[in-house]
Every structure is written in structure tokens, then in C-alpha cells.
């Protein structure tokens, strides 16, 4: 019987060593996964930051384009050939004709 107990202890030691080896391997794998996740988190944060910057730029450009659209509405006073003096003369001529 002591031989059986010795064999059991030997087998137990062998199994314990295997378990320790697996545990170390898993621990290393988990550590690598954590590092990968940290790197991914940093990269995602950078991408998110860039997207937010881009959204701000887009929002500003939309506001600018809306302002330009409002500025592009036709206004006779902004025409290049608009001459305020001509209109004043027209009004004077109109007054002269009424007399």
C-alpha cells in the first residue's frame, strides 16, 4: 500500500506542476490581452478625438455655408453696377417732372 500512496503523491506532484505551468501560461496570456486592450483603448480614444474635431469643423463649415447662403440672397444694393447717385438723380428728375 505505501507504494500506491507514493505513486499517488508522485502523480499529484506531476499534476500540480502541470497546473502551475498552465496557470503561468494563462497569466501571461491574460497580461498580453490586457496590454492589447489598453493599446486598443488608446487608439480608440485618439480616433474618437479626431472624429470630434472633425465634427466641430463640419459644424463650423455648415454655419459658414448657411451664412454664405444668406449672404447670397439677391440684394440690389450689393450689385456691382448699382450706383446710388443714379437713383438720386432719378428721384430729382422725377420731382422735376411733377412740377
DSSP string, 46-87: HHHHHHHHHHHHHHHHHHHHHHHHHHTS--GGG-TT--HHHH
- Dump pLDDT digits (tens) for 36-82: 999 999 999 999 999 999 888 888 888 777 666 666 666 666 656 65
Residue 80: the pLDDT is: 60
Residue 16: the pLDDT is: 96
| pTM, two decimal places | 0.48
Confidence of residue 28 (pLDDT cuts 50, 70, 90): very high
Rg (alpha carbons) of the chain, rounded to whole number: 42
Q: Parse the chain into domains and list their residue ranges.
A: 2-70
Amino acid at each position: 500500500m505505501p507504494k500506491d500512496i507514493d505513486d499517488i503523491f508522485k502523480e499529484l506532484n506531476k499534476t500540480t506542476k502541470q497546473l502551475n505551468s498552465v496557470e503561468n501560461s494563462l497569466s501571461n496570456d491574460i497580461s498580453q490581452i490586457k496590454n492589447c486592450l489598453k493599446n486598443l483603448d488608446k487608439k480608440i480614444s485618439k480616433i474618437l478625438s479626431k472624429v470630434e474635431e472633425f465634427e466641430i469643423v463640419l459644424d463650423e463649415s455648415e454655419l459658414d455655408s448657411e451664412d454664405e447662403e444668406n449672404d447670397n440672397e439677391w440684394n440690389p444694393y450689393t450689385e456691382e453696377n448699382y450706383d446710388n447717385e443714379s437713383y438720386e438723380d432719378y428721384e430729382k428728375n422725377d420731382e422735376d417732372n411733377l412740377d
